[in-house]
Structure 1
């Protein structure tokens, strides 16, 4: 995955009583970076937020960039929920297996049912099945 495909993470919910609520996060804000690193996904976000001192760059709903410095307990969650677990593109299977259950679905179903998810990050988060046959060297 290229760092250029990473989009700021769209905040859909700020948990009541959380650090994020205390510092003024709102649904619709977009998290750009944590300690100058743009998280690719929810796993990166959780890893980067484990630190005690965080420097956050956030775009608000008016597209204005804010920089926020916070100090918190180690491994304390900020209290943000996002529109997606991936902040870049989904890794899809490009194999042409003759027994693929996705290819055997009838036409006319909703688009998401034809998605050949082969993203190991979703497997870590949600237990999705994947083959790892399409994993680029950089991801290993």
Structure 2
């Protein structure tokens, strides 16, 4: 097999193409709600400040290019009513082409569907209250 030298212009074009495809994503993990507060998670607006007091294993993935966020957190089952009392039943329409498929997948797996809005931000929460876990997706309207 013969190897050919690749020209500098070709390498430059590939580098520019790859750089143009990168997205600006910020991920954060917090062991406890207190850790998330210390890092000012809620002030940044990626997750509303409504998690139960002893929420744990908080994970956020924020796409800064398109202003969306996904993540999850855990909570004691006993604190579920406090959380769900701050959310609205059901999830709104979302600007994602696969949204109805995502929602149906959560429903088929037994997740309850909740929503929350604040300013221009909208959150959809998919929760399994019996195990104390929620996953979420958010976007700006």
Common topology (TM > 0.5): no
TM-score range with shorter-chain normalisation? under 0.3
Q: TM-score, normalised by structure 2?
A: 0.25
Q: TM-score, normalised by structure 1?
A: 0.25
Larger radius of gyration: 2
Higher strand share: 2
Higher helix share: 2
